A and B are shown apart, each in its own frame.
Chain A
Amino acid sequence: MSAQALKNYTIAGTPSTNQLLRAYLEETRCEALRLVRNPGLAFPVLIMPVALYALFALLIAGEAIDKDPGIGVFMFSAFSVMGISMPALFGLSSSLAMEREMGLMRLKRAQPAPTGSWLVAKIVCGVVFGALALLPMIVLATATGKLALDGAAITRMSLTLIACSIPFCALGLMMGSLVKGSAAPGYANLVYLPGCYLSGMFFPLPQSMHWQRPIWPQFHVNQLAMHAAGVEKFQFEPVFMAGAGALGFTVLFSAVAIWRLAQKG
């Protein structure tokens, strides 16, 4: 074999762990930069939940919370679920849908990008931005005394909520893989908003509507938060079921997204 031919046939081989790590980090950094530089997306998803929480929990329902601290936890949990889910759902669905439309997913498949590095980057950003949306709410709630829980319970609840942004990341990926770029936020809302109300997250539902709560991911996530906080009054399903629900939805949404991306790219 001639030297020239050798050169042609030598391929770089499997990338090293360091190289993979660098690719994952770089991908995550770029994804975060894109989110930060897209104020149309970053601003509403980061500010809206805490603004709504301030409006409802502090101004409108302030007195009720003072009478029954359980209501404070209930409202905090509701707006927190909103906070952690919006960046995951809207950020991921629109960015993935746009990227598919721009042909960027095709380019990444052609380049030797590590399989799934874009996915990890998006999920990490979804979770981190969810945490960023949650943080001001925790500060506000504890500073105003509207969250009558001890430090350990607040930590448990916050960590649970942050972890629970993953099912919404999966939902965002599914929406992003199913619809076109500009339509993605609209469709995501269509799936997301009814669930906020019909899961009984924002206000307690009449008994007759309880049967349909388990079909909304928000319900299970909210229940996990209630279990983490240890508020028995608002625990409507065992922690095992809530965990299974959140996990089940994650698996279902991811499977649809992966299947769809494999079919259509």
Chain B
Amino acid sequence: MNTSDSQRLHALDAVRGFALLLGVAFHAALSFMPGWPPGIWAMNDHSPSAFLSDAAFVTHVFRMSLFFFIAGFFARLLHQKLGTAGFWKNRLLRIAVPLLIFWPLLFPLIGYIWVTGITKVLGAPPPMPDFKLTPATFPLAHLWFLYQLLVLYVGAMAVRAVVDRLDGAQKLRGLIDRAVEFSVRNPVAVFLLGIPLAFALLAIPMWFYWTGIPTPEHSLIPQVPATVGYGTAFVFGWLVHRSRGALEGITRSWLLHLVIGVIATAWLLHVVKVSPMAQPGMLKNSFAFAFGVAAWGWTLGLTGAALRFLSGYSAARRYVADASYWIYLAHLPVVAAIQVWVGHWPLHWGLKYPFILVTSFAILFASYHWLVRPTVIGQLLNGRRHRGAAPSPATPPPQSTPPRGPDGSDRGHGDAPVAELRGITKKFGAVTALNGIDIQVRSGELLAVLGPNGAGKSTAISLWLGLADADAGEVTLLGGSPRDVAHRQGLGVMMQDVELPKELSAREQIRLASSYYSDPLPLEETIRRAGIAAFADKTYGKLSGGQKRLAQFAVAICGQPRVLFLDEPTVGLDVQAREALWNSIRKLLAAGCSIVLTTHYLEEAEALANRVAVITKGKVIASGSVDDMRALVARRQISCQSKLGADEVSAWPGVIEARIDRDRLRITATDAEDVVRRLLAADPTVARLEVRQAGLNEAFNELTKEAA
């Protein structure tokens, strides 16, 4: 698993934890529902709240769909990792065993609290209903979701087996993968996924809008609306894991999905307030449809937002995500008991609800920390037992260190790259800008990236700057993702096609850029190092082209970057200014800064670079030191005054090209010694003979010609 995958899993773990903890908040609100008859919930609080009723409805619209969506994603991930037998072993241990252990413990407790609560509300014990325990009446309580998960696992495995047999060439699955990706990049899935559920909901005869998908908590026989609704979520999560680009699409469209979810939910809320009970007709049809849109808008929107903003490793989030499973399993008796306890207190719900939440979470987190995390229960629920204290936030993420090579071997830290592109492919529509490219920038070196226009240099840089995402492969900057602001703290950048605001002086621009960094250079020092003291107070619009480039250079170095990206830095500079800039660059290198330089000026690469990478058509066609490059195309230039014609010489073995330039014969040869011997033999009058190594310019031209 590569780093970016594991980072995404951190985000999805956080979403799953969020959905579960939201369930606790939801149940904590249910004693405050206005107009609920006694017995539906353990308590009817003296201070009912319309606001909590609305809030509970909103969370109820999406929280379980969100949970089952993530569950589907992880189910396929697990199946890929463990195989069918391993998958079943794991699921039985994590899902079926907790269901079998926790139900007998929790159900009597829940029953007792319910009876106590209802007795408190009614002033007398409730009449015991005539109850026969059958599969169709089995009270699963809030553990129904474990049972539902097991049902969905059985279904998924069965469908997978059938599809595997029918779709051996993966044609159908390839098609579905693309459809899934398209449907999340464009807001299509959000409108379509709820349709099967809508039909299931419409078939319910006595449907209270507020309940949404009726909770299948009273039966072991799978209920149609829940199985259809949550099954769709589970299957779609599974398919999203299959499809390469779907997570990326969900990440991009997070806001759009969320806005759609919010709008649809606002309308649902309006309907619930106007007519709580569904009557057959247009309103019921549109409510059922909008319910799906709302659930999926929230599900995809929240997942995308988490992928966008929470993809890094955070020890605190990891802890909460680990704790959430236990907390959800154990929360109901705790929450209900506190609700019964505070139900008749003469206080406003605005005080009581937070009290219930805070107290419940305190008890549940404490029980997790001391009774679950370090014990066999933690091992059962989360697969591992943590001994000792919780990890401090400084503990590194388990997946990302030490860095491992593609073969799984440890790479030494001594020459670990400060920035790396590994197996990167990036397409723009039909154009492949980068095609499986690998480039490393090592500590303290200057890597010159050369290539003709459109070769993919700028795309490579924009990936390192976190401005774009690769379609495949892994981008690292200072040991992490360049999307992470903390890692970008270590970079400085000078872009080619960027103009700074013309109304501000260079000094003001540097001051602004310095404020982004946690350890910037003093302002005057930046100005001195960039050599712009003479015009630091002129507004940028009044500077010459070369001065503008130097001002941009100052902005790039003000944060004391560990990696500096310079995109064609000396375009438009006169010779003197260029020499000055080269000197500044050399000083940065000497101070240990790593630099990536793209340039058209080959003498610039020759003057500064430790290593050169030549990119053409999205591929690295050569990389190595400047000398390596020259050796790679071991050619030399021979020039002399001679009577011989260019045509005659160019036919000799070892001669690549011969031409007459003014009065001199110029020969490019792979085997210079032999050519010179033959030259002297053929023309004794040869004069002013000169043999020299080809410059990088010739080497570069030769290489790109070969690749073309």
List A residues at the B interface (Cβ < 8 Å): 1-2, 4-5, 7-9, 11-16, 19, 22-23, 25-27, 30, 33-34, 37-38, 99, 102-104, 106-107, 109-115, 251, 255, 258-259, 262-263, 265
On whether the beta carbons of B256 and A259 are closer than 8 Å, the reply is yes
In the complex where A106-B495, A109-B466 touch, is A255 in contact with B255 (Cβ < 8 A)? yes
Q: List 5 A-B contacts (CB under 8 A).
A: A5-B413, A8-B443, A99-B501, A107-B495, A110-B466
On whether the beta carbons of A26 and B512 are closer than 8 Å, the reply is yes
Mask, B600-619, CB within 8 Å of A = 1, is 00000000000000000000
Secondary structure type dominating chain B contacts: loop
Q: Complex formed: what's the CA distance from A104 to B502 in Å?
A: 11
Tell me, rounded to whole Å, the shortest Cβ–Cβ distance linking A9 to chain B: 5
On whether the beta carbons of A8 and B562 are closer than 8 Å, the reply is yes
Q: Which one, A25, A27, A107, A262, contacts B493 given CB within 8 A?
A: A107
- How big is chain B's contact interface, by range? 35 or more
Q: Complex formed: what's the CA distance from A114 to B485 in Å?
A: 8
What B residues does A30 contact at CB under 8 A? 501, 504, 508-509, 512
Secondary structure type dominating chain A contacts: helix
In the complex where A8-B562, A262-B252 touch, is A111 in contact with B488 (Cβ < 8 A)? yes
What B residues does A2 contact at CB under 8 A? 413-414
What B residues does A102 contact at CB under 8 A? 498-501
Determine whether B589 belongs to the interface, using a CB cutoff of 8 Å to chain A: no
In the complex where A11-B478, A110-B491 touch, is A37 in contact with B485 (Cβ < 8 A)? no
Q: Complex formed: what's the CA distance from A25 to B256 in Å?
A: 30
In the A-B complex, the 7 residue pairs with the smallest Cβ-Cβ separation, listed nearest first, are A103-B498, A110-B465, A5-B413, A26-B515, A12-B489, A102-B499, A37-B503
On whether the beta carbons of B467 and A15 are closer than 8 Å, the reply is no
Tell me, rounded to whole Å, the shortest Cβ–Cβ distance linking B262 to chain A: 9
In the complex where A34-B501, A38-B503, A103-B497 touch, is A255 in contact with B259 (Cβ < 8 A)? yes
What A residues does B518 contact at CB under 8 A? 12-13, 15-16, 19
Tell me, rounded to whole Å, the shortest Cβ–Cβ distance linking A199 to chain B: 24
What B residues does A106 contact at CB under 8 A? 467, 495, 498
Q: Complex formed: what's the CA distance from A110 to B504 in Å?
A: 20
Mask, B517-554, CB within 8 Å of A = 1, is 11100000000000000000001000000000000000
Q: Which one, A104, A114, A259, A265, contacts B498 given CB within 8 A?
A: A104
Q: Which one, A8, A13, A23, contacts B486 given CB within 8 A?
A: A13
What B residues does A38 contact at CB under 8 A? 503
Tell me, rounded to whole Å, the shortest Cβ–Cβ distance linking A134 to chain B: 24
On whether the beta carbons of A8 and B478 are closer than 8 Å, the reply is yes
Determine whether B196 belongs to the interface, using a CB cutoff of 8 Å to chain A: no
On whether the beta carbons of B592 and A7 are closer than 8 Å, the reply is yes
Mask, B205-223, CB within 8 Å of A = 1, is 0000000000000000000
What B residues does A109 contact at CB under 8 A? 465-467
Q: Complex formed: what's the CA distance from A251 to B259 in Å?
A: 9
What A residues does B512 contact at CB under 8 A? 26-27, 30
Q: Complex formed: what's the CA distance from A17 to B465 in Å?
A: 24
The residue in chain B whose Cβ has the minimal distance to the Cβ of A115 is B485
Q: Complex formed: what's the CA distance from A38 to B501 in Å?
A: 11
Q: Which one, A11, A19, A103, contacts B479 given CB within 8 A?
A: A11
What A residues does B256 contact at CB under 8 A? 255, 259
The residue in chain A whose Cβ has the minimal distance to the Cβ of B416 is A5
The residue in chain A whose Cβ has the minimal distance to the Cβ of B499 is A102
Residue from B498, B516, B592 whose CB has the most chain A CB atoms within 10 Å: B516
What B residues does A26 contact at CB under 8 A? 511-512, 515
On whether the beta carbons of B416 and A112 are closer than 8 Å, the reply is no
Tell me, rounded to whole Å, the shortest Cβ–Cβ distance linking B593 to chain A: 11
What A residues does B255 contact at CB under 8 A? 255, 258-259, 262
What B residues does A15 contact at CB under 8 A? 485, 489, 518
